[in-house]
Amino acid sequence: WNAARHADRRPMLLARNRIQAGLRRWFDDQGFTETDPCALQISPGNETHLHAFAAEAIDNDGGMRRLYLHTSPEFALKKLLAAGEEKIFAFAHVWRNRERGARHSPEFVMLEWYRTHESYEVLMADCAAFLALAARAAGSPLLRRGDLPCDPFLAPERLSVCEAFMKYAGVDLLATMDDNGVPDAEKLRPQLHAKGMRTAPDDTWSDMMSRVLTADVEPRLGHGRATILDRYPAHEAALARRCPDDPRLAERFELYACGVELANGFGELTDPVEQRARFIAEMDEKERIYGERYPLDEDFLSALADMPPAAGIALGFDRLVMLATGAPKIDDIIWAPAG
């Protein structure tokens, strides 16, 4: 820490404050209620490749319990929806282990918001508004990562995952799933081999899909204008309801700008039985790969039965600030970065 380094970062940090203040005004104008969920939870989340920070809680009688710093405020916010809230948001500090790099911090701020009784497509309009808001607050005509620009004032393009895989990788994902969306790795593997991509014998369908997404699809998204990558395979959308016109796909989208993923939105799954089954499958896969699993939040699963239809989304606030200010790395726009 030194004064010169802080002086270099300070304009970006002040832009961060203006962006956050602008977003709060936007939510207030839209009739949202801000919430502030606790970070310590029974379960940090139940996705295969998310890794949590654990904490040992000492009870009054000296007993020990394991709690986790949440990887998302999602479970807490959905409990509030079940309790009667209708339009809520949170700027939540979240923690993810095994994540450190130019665009990753082990502790970062997630902006998460929910709308009951509305389509997940409304969230896409919210995202477009936030890109423009962030650019105006930062005093920038463009979002930028290095020499990659994105015009935040243009309407985002919208591509389905399957369209994007065919367009950018020549891979037909739909041909690798049955009518219920169950994927078949042996139908995907030869498509990867045909394009010169190696696979391991124990690679799952998800492993191979992720590899193509990372190598061939994501780097091409959000150039010139933002991209909404929509209609994920249901197998890759553990928290989203299925598309009514195609059970192979789910109401999940991601927002990209300058090749960077900014947000992940859903038409929320509210069936506790299906949600439990999906979580167990995710934790089985986590145990297979990493040798660990996280507990299920039984209160959350019970609350789903009372949760109204809703659309919800999580946006990486720090990444949005990075692109609006042109910051080269995430630590540049965090007031006091994690150690």
Dump the DSSP string for 187-249.
Answer: HHHHHHHHTT----TT--HHHHHHHHIIIIIGGGSSSBS-EEEEEEEGGG-TTBPEETTEEEE
Tokens of 291: 């040798």
> pLDDT tens digits for 277-330?
999 999 999 999 999 999 999 999 999 999 999 999 999 999 999 999 999 999
Round the average pLDDT of the chain to a whole number and report it. Answer: 96
pLDDT grade for 37, boundaries at 50, 70 and 90: very high
pLDDT grade for 1, boundaries at 50, 70 and 90: low
pTM: 0.94
- Mean pLDDT of the 194-223 span: 95
| pLDDT at residue 241, rounded to an integer | 92
Backbone angles phi, psi at 103, to 5 degrees: -115, 10
CB 114 within 8 A of CB 87: yes
What are the distances in angstroms from CA 299 to CA 26, 66, 243, 304, 317?
A: 31, 16, 27, 9, 28
pLDDT grade for 339, boundaries at 50, 70 and 90: confident
| pLDDT at residue 99, rounded to an integer | 86
- Mean pLDDT of the 200-223 span: 95
pLDDT grade for 118, boundaries at 50, 70 and 90: very high
CB 200 within 8 A of CB 221: no
What are the distances in angstroms from CA 136 to CA 11, 141, 152, 334?
A: 14, 7, 9, 20
| pLDDT at residue 239, rounded to an integer | 82
What are the distances in angstroms from CA 309 to CA 65, 212, 276, 301, 313?
A: 34, 33, 18, 15, 14
